């Protein structure tokens, strides 16, 4: 589905266009990923866990510090699986098998034997760095430590796994696997390397998300990465058009849907993402680049101040 001081670092590997992902080494390493840990049982974390259990068919340990969040997430997983069965997308046996691969826990220590961990908690820098500091101590020394962040520097997160700058082992295993929302539907995943990320880590991450049925794209560790660097100014400009009276909300959304064949208009999409999330990302882009083209709309700021955050609060540019 975002605040941090980001730094623009050069990607450790070649671009997506020049990379061959199906190398023997990377494929073998990805095949050795026989278990997954997911930290965070919200919409993103649950989606990642469910897709891994269904597509990659690996056992998943879902971690959260709230039993209520775990219960809510697993109930949502049951609902999604039931929907797939009712629409004959999967069989009852396949749904039961996928659900059976997901176990939940309140204890981070239960990640002590997984091969791959994906963190999917809110975009709070101190929270993420704290989690990665723990993961470096708890997870096996071969495990890939991935974050689902959409804006926080991967290099900064990787640095939290070691107190010694000369210790390259733990930071080299950190990478970003930024899944698009909703995870069960969207195929895209941004793979972002930090300055410390090793090529083996990058290749294994790419191969593993492909096992999950996703289409990876690589990005440098720069403010907004690729998806948000392109998407958020587009959404922000739509808000500015509304704010300045260039067009009404229905006209803005209609022209983009019917003129560019996108599935939903920018104001609707902003509501679904969350206006607070959009504002936070725009603030990061503006602060880190110093470029005025990323300055967030005044209307966007006021709507967040009003608590009108979009679909999750029941009111945004539209009522829900």
Q: Do 70 and 135 belong to one domain?
A: yes
pLDDT of residue 27: 53
Instruction: Look at the chain and report how many structural domains it folds into.
Output: 2
- The residue out of 203, 220, 237 marking a domain boundary is 220
The CATH number for 127's domain is: 3.40.50.720
Question: Tell me: the pLDDT tens digits for 87-129?
Answer: 999 999 999 999 999 999 999 999 999 999 999 998 889 999 9
- 292 and 150 in a single domain? The answer is no
Residue 175 scores a pLDDT above 80: yes
Q: Which of 11, 119, 176, 178 is catalytic?
A: 178
Task: Examine the domain organization and report whether 114 and 186 are in the same domain.
Answer: yes
Predicted local distance difference test score (pLDDT) of residue 20: 37
Domain harbouring 292, CATH code: 1.10.1040.10
Binding-site residue ranges for NAD(+): 40-45, 64, 123, 128, 150, 181, 312
Question: Of 168, 194, 220, which one is at a domain's C-terminal end?
Answer: 220
Q: Are residues 210 and 232 in the same domain?
A: no
Q: Which domain holds residue 132?
A: 36-220
What pLDDT score was predicted for residue 208? 97
**Are residues 69 and 191 both part of a single domain?**
yes
Asked if residue 133 is part of any domain, the answer here is: yes
At 151 the pLDDT is: 84
> Tens of pLDDT along 269-304?
999 999 998 998 999 899 989 999 999 999 999 999
Active site residue 178: yes
Give yes or no: 228 in active site: yes
Q: Is 286 a catalytic residue?
A: no
Q: SS3 letters for the chain?
A: CCCCCCCCECCCCCCHHHCCCCCHHHHHHHHCCCCEEEECCCHHHHHHHHHHHHHHCCCEEEECCCHHHHHHHHHHHHHHHHHHHHCCCCCHHHHHHHHHCEEEECCHHHHCCCCEEEECCCCCHHHHHHHHHHHHHHCCCCCEEEECCCCCCHHHHHHCCCCCCCCCHHHHCEEEEEECCCCCCCCEEEEEECCCCCHHHHHHHHHHHHHCCCEEEEECECCCCCHHHHHHHHHHHHHHHHHCCCCCHHHHHHHHHHHHCCCCCHHHHHHHHCHHHHHHHHHHHHHHHCCHHHCCCHHHHHHHHCCCCEHHHCECCCEC
Which is the catalytic residue, given 11, 35, 69, 150? 150
Stretch among 27-36, 159-168, 172-181, 226-235 having the lowest mean pLDDT: 27-36
Q: What are the tens digits of pLDDT across the range 83-96?
A: 999 999 999 999 99
Same domain, residue pair 191 and 269: no
Read off the pTM: 0.84
| Residues 200 and 245 placed together within one structural domain of the fold | no
Q: Categorize the per-residue pLDDT at 12 as very low, low, confident or very high, splitting at 50, 70 and 90.
A: very low
Domain final residue pick, 220, 239, 274: 220
Let me know whether 261 and 279 are in one domain: yes
């Amino acid at each position: 589905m975002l605040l941090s001081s980001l730094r623009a670092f050069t990607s450790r590997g070649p671009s997506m266009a020049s990379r061959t992902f199906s190398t023997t080494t990377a494929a073998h390493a990805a095949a050795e990923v026989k278990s997954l840990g997911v930290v965070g049982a919200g919409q993103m974390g649950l989606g990642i866990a469910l897709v891994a259990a269904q597509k990659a068919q690996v056992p998943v340990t879902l971690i959260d510090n709230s039993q209520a969040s775990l219960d809510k997430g697993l109930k949502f997983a049951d609902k999604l699986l039931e929907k797939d069965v009712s629409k004959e997308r999967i069989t009852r046996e396949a749904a039961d098998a996928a659900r059976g691969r997901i176990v939940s826990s309140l204890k981070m220590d239960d990640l002590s034997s997984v091969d791959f961990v994906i963190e999917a908690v809110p975009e709070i820098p101190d929270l993420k760095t704290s989690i990665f500091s723990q993961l470096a101590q708890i997870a096996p020394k071969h495990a890939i430590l991935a974050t689902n962040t959409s804006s926080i520097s991967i290099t900064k997160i990787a640095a939290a796994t070691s107190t010694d700058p000369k210790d390259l082992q733990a930071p080299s295993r950190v990478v970003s696997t930024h899944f698009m929302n909703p995870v069960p539907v969207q195929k895209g995943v941004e793979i972002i390397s930090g300055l410390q990320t090793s090529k083996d880590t990058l290749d294994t991450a790419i191969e593993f998300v492909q096992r999950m049925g996703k289409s990876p794209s690589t990005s440098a560790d720069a403010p907004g990465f690729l998806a948000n660097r392109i998407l958020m100014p587009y959404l922000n400009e739509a808000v500015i058009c509304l704010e300045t009276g260039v067009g009404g909300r229905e006209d803005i959304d209609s022209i983009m849907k019917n003129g560019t064949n996108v599935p939903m208009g920018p104001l609707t999409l902003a509501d679904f993402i969350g206006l607070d999330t959009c504002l936070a990302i725009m603030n990061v882009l503006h602060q880190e680049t110093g470029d005025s083209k990323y300055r967030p709309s005044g209307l966007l700021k006021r709507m967040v101040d009003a608590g009108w955050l979009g679909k999750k609060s029941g009111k945004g540019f539209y009522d829900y």
